[in-house]
Amino acid sequence: MPGRGKHRRPRRNPITRGVVAAGTGGAALTLPLLGATYANAAEPQSAPAAQTVRQAAQPAKSLTYTVTKGDTLYGIAEKYDVSGGWKQLYKANRATVGDDPRVIHAGLKLKVETAKAAAAKKATESSAPAKPAGGVTRATPAAAKTYANNLDGWIREALDIMAQKGIPGSYDGIYRNVMRESSGNPQAINNWDSNAAKGTPSKGLLQVIDPTFAAYHVSGTPYDPYDPVANITAACNYAADRYGSIDNVNGPY
């Protein structure tokens, strides 16, 4: 008997045990041996990811706008998404603009506060809960229904008021007539037609003359023909009286 330890079958390197020979009628077919490899393969290194430079968000700020020829408060408010629209823009710059918001002169410097800047300011001011005189914290009451300060919001607010007052009209009927009469500009004024020649130019979104506005003004809205909601509701009230509804108006009325 051979001495202990001699003629041992040499230990296989674990890596070489990754295949076995399968008999195929005299030919050897080398097949992979699943689960028999002990060596740990090095994980491929992924390509370095492209570095993305992110610009820090710029805080919303107010700005100073220099009026150019052809500008209107409405147009500037729309361009910069002014919180409160042209009326707020006029209010903030009345000392500069003067008493007539329809006329602004080139070269005027206007303070413009964007909606984002206003929202940031409001959030800062309202971050602390309201406290009564006694010092006990109380919840701030929920805000009333609000509307967007644009044509869509003006029409929707007008429709809600009209529903309360029993004045007929639909969104599509109002929108169609507004776009024909003023293209959605609440400061629009007609200074050339027969009404203007008589001293009563048509004004606002639905081009209402002052006598008609006075006769059909809807209570609860500002007494101002340039106010979008007041103009819409007065015009719809007039159209309901004369045509049955603003929906029946498809041309000058």
Domain extent, residue 69, equals 63-124
Which tops the pLDDT comparison, 31 or 240?
240
**Cα(31)–Cα(27) distance, rounded to whole angstroms?**
13
pTM, two decimals, is 0.48
157 shares its domain with 244:
yes
Asked whether residue 173 falls in the same domain as residue 233, the answer is yes
Residue 49: its pLDDT value, please? 42
Which residues, at least 6 apart from 190, have a Cβ–Cβ distance to it below 8 Å?
Answer: 196, 201, 202, 203, 207
**In this structure, is residue 19 part of a structural domain?**
no
Residue 75 within a domain: yes
Higher pLDDT, 63 or 123: 63
pLDDT band, very low/low/confident/very high, at 118 (cuts 50, 70, 90): low
**Structure confidence by residue, pLDDT tens digits, 18-76:** 434 444 444 444 334 333 333 443 444 444 444 433 334 444 567 899 999 888 888 88
- Same-domain pairing of 156 and 232: yes
Point out which residues pair with 63 in neighbouring strands: 112
The answer to whether position 96 is within a domain reads: yes
- What is the percent of the chain with per-residue pLDDT over 70, rounded to a whole number? 65
φ and ψ of 150, to 5 deg: -150, 180
* Structure-token pair, residue 188: 């629009």
